[in-house]
Amino acid sequence: MGWYRYYAVPRSMAYLRSFWYHVVWLWKRSLGRRSQTGYVTWARMSRLIGRWLPQPWILHPYPDQRLCVTT
């Protein structure tokens, strides 16, 4: 979550999605290594992802909205 909070600025959604995808891929690979069958199906992995891994989103507004001052 800390990585998302730091990098969740406008125009960085592609980087956030790439990071999320690599985390999912590494998590699936490590679970597959621990499994006795040698693999984890994507159906099971999607259930785990939905429960434990949040989707990336932009947390900080654009600078013109953030720095907008009305008097």
- pLDDT tens, position by position, for the chain (71 residues)? 566 666 677 777 788 788 889 999 999 999 888 877 778 888 999 999 999 988 877 776 766 565 555 66
Report the alpha-carbon distance of residue 42 to residue 48 in Å, rounded: 10
C-beta atoms surrounding 56 within 10 Å: 20
Could you state, in order of their start, the residue ranges of all structural domains in the chain? Answer: 2-66
Report the alpha-carbon distance of residue 13 to residue 10 in Å, rounded: 7
Q: Which two tokens mark 62? A: 């654009």
Q: How far is CA 65 from CA 11, 13, 34, 69, in A?
A: 14, 18, 47, 9
Residue 68: the pLDDT is 58
